[in-house]
Amino acid sequence: MPKRKALGKGLSLLIPETEDLPRQESGFFECPVEAIEPNPYQPRQSFQSPAFDELVESVREKGIITPLLVTKTEEGYRLIAGERRWRAAQKAGLETVPVVVKEVSPIESLELALIENIHRKDLNPIEEAQAYQRWLEDTDTTQDVLAKKLGKDRSTVANMLRLLKLPKVVQQDLVEDRLSMGHARVLAGLKTPEEQKALRDLIIKKSLSVRQTEALATRKQGTRPAKSGKEEEAHYYRSLTENLRRDLGTKVEIRKRGKKGSIIIHFYSDEELDRLLEHLSG
Which residues are known catalytic residues? 83
- E strand spans, the chain: 28-32, 36-37, 68-72, 77-81, 96-101, 252-257, 260-265
Give CA–CA dist 110/131, Å, rounded: 8
Q: Which amino acid appears at position 93 of this protein?
A: G
Sequence-distant (≥ 6) Cβ neighbours of residue 275 within 8 angstroms: 120, 249
Give CA–CA dist 69/4, Å, rounded: 20
Q: Are 68 and 98 in contact (CB under 8 A)?
A: yes
Strands 68-72 and 77-81, sheet pairing: antiparallel
